[in-house]
Amino acid sequence: MKIIEKAELSQFTTLRIGGVVDRICFPASINELGDLIDKLISQNEPWSILGGGSNVLISSNDIPGTVICTTGLNWIEQPGPDQLIAGAGVRLPRLSAYAAKLNLSGMEFYEGIPGTVGGAIVMNAGAHGSSTNQILEIVTVLNLKTLKFETLTPKDIHFGYRFSSVNPQEYIVLGAKFRMVSDTDASIRSRMKENNLIRCKTQPIKDPSAGCTFRNPIEINMPAGKILDSIGAKNWTVGSAKVSPVHANFIVNLGNATSHEVCKLITKLQEVTYEKYNVLLKPEIKPLGHFNQNEAVIWTNANQTATSSFIITNNE
């Protein structure tokens, strides 16, 4: 198992923000991961789970303990003619391309999404009118209460918009089986190309970001990006954290942004939006590491995460 001592977590995130952790480990199998977590728990050492590094804001403060990165769980298998099994660390564009080579349709919406299979299940990742739950057949998890491997079916999981009941405080996603349908190579590639073109035109793909900052609110029929655009948020800047001029629901790192600057900018976006629309935007990005009370308010006010999650624990 690969282990890096005193690792700068910024190099493992798409936003390029994160402090120094005591060590980061890359288990290459579910057994390695299970044994590592068992050891850390028995030693009462703080630890956290990190996937592909998107959709997360890591504290710029130093982080005690161990971060377990799941990107080593990167296998893909084809158990049946219309099925694929993928490890939690498989990048979504890679999985989409793998399916396309087999003339399997259903994963075209993964094209361009910078996450991994594990995060896609926890967040029910989606785009272009499709979502992960529509193609999911089985999820393999590690139950953190029993430290045993379990399988969950979609009937065991509640899915919603950018949400699933696979709680990272209770389960770690290890892999999943997906079911798709056969289609022609030309049709699949055409959809993938179109999805990628839309993403390139509408999102700041060349700038470091964590992805969408906020979920689309259910209180009003307006996407978060349009809400933020309507308040003139594009180009708002705090230090080196900036609201993208391409898409207002993306915060980009101009080079040396800190988690404190990102939190301050998010707070401003929430406050101004609430004043105009009486809607408190809920962050889509998740915290990892220690955040002070003024920073953590962006999640606690939106009823996103318990305060205890801001101290490094078993976060996904």
Q: Is 80 inside a domain boundary?
A: yes
The answer to whether 247 and 259 have CB atoms below 8 angstroms apart is: no
Q: Is 196 inside a domain boundary?
A: no
Q: Is 201 inside a domain boundary?
A: no
Q: What is the CATH number of the domain that holds 247?
A: 3.90.78.10
- The tokens describing 192, both together, are 């993938």
Residues 20 and 112 in one domain: no
Q: What is the CATH number of the domain that holds 150?
A: 3.30.465.10
| 26 band by pLDDT with thresholds 50, 70 and 90 | very high
Residues 89 and 38 in one domain: no
* pLDDT at 266 (0 to 100): 98
Residues 57 and 92 in one domain: no
Residues 290 and 216 in one domain: yes
Q: Is 105 inside a domain boundary?
A: yes
**DSSP 8-class letter at 208:** -
* pLDDT at 169 (0 to 100): 87
Residues 19 and 41 in one domain: yes
| 42 band by pLDDT with thresholds 50, 70 and 90 | very high
Q: Residue 63 to residues 185, 232, 311: CA-CA distances in angstroms?
A: 46, 35, 9
Can you tell me whether residue 277 is helix, strand or coil? helix
| 274 band by pLDDT with thresholds 50, 70 and 90 | very high
Residues 142 and 180 in one domain: yes
Residues 135 and 225 in one domain: no
Residues 245 and 214 in one domain: yes
| Domain boundary residue, one of 25, 57, 72 | 72
The answer to whether 207 and 253 have CB atoms below 8 angstroms apart is: yes
Q: What is the CATH number of the domain that holds 21?
A: 3.30.43.10
How many structural domains does the chain have? Answer: 3
- Find the mean pLDDT for residues 236-243: 98
> Considering only CA atoms, which of 303, 293, 289 is closest in space to residue 9?
289
pLDDT tens digits, residue range 188-236?
A: 999 999 998 998 899 998 999 999 999 999 889 999 999 999 999 999 9
The answer to whether 135 and 180 have CB atoms below 8 angstroms apart is: yes
Name 195's Cβ contacts closer than 8 Å, sequence gap at least 6: 108, 109, 111, 112, 127, 128
Q: Is 294 inside a domain boundary?
A: yes
| Domain boundary residue, one of 136, 160, 188 | 188
* pLDDT at 303 (0 to 100): 60
In DSSP terms, 87 is beta-bridged to: 175
Looking at every residue in the chain, the average pLDDT score rounds to 92
Question: Contacts by 238-246 with C-beta closer than 8 Å and gap 24+?
Answer: 238/262, 238/264, 238/265, 238/268, 239/264, 241/265, 243/269, 244/203, 244/204, 244/207, 244/209, 245/204, 246/202, 246/203, 246/204
From first CA to last CA, the distance across the chain in angstroms is 20
Within 3-48, where are the H helices?
30-42
- CA 158 to chain CA centroid, nearest Å: 18
Q: Is 315 inside a domain boundary?
A: no
* pLDDT at 135 (0 to 100): 97
pLDDT tens digits, residue range 145-166?
A: 999 999 999 999 999 988 899 9
The CA dihedral of 191, 193, 195, 200, to the nearest 10 degrees, is -170
* pLDDT at 151 (0 to 100): 97
Residues 85 and 34 in one domain: no
Residues 295 and 236 in one domain: yes
Residue 37 φ then ψ, to 5°: -65, -40
How much is the pTM? 0.89
- Asked whether residue 44 carries a pLDDT value surpassing 80, the answer given is yes
**Residue with the larger pLDDT of the pair 169 and 4:** 4
- Asked whether residue 1 carries a pLDDT value surpassing 70, the answer given is yes
Which strand ranges, in their side-by-side order, compose the sheet holding 2-8?
2-8, 20-26, 63-69, 47-50
| Domain boundary residue, one of 72, 104, 121 | 72
Residues 61 and 116 in one domain: no
- Asked whether residue 307 carries a pLDDT value surpassing 90, the answer given is no
Domain that includes residue 99, residue range: 76-188
Residues 84 and 181 in one domain: yes
Q: Is 198 inside a domain boundary?
A: no
| 311 band by pLDDT with thresholds 50, 70 and 90 | very low
- Find the mean pLDDT for residues 16-27: 97
**DSSP 8-class letter at 12:** G
Q: Is 194 inside a domain boundary?
A: no
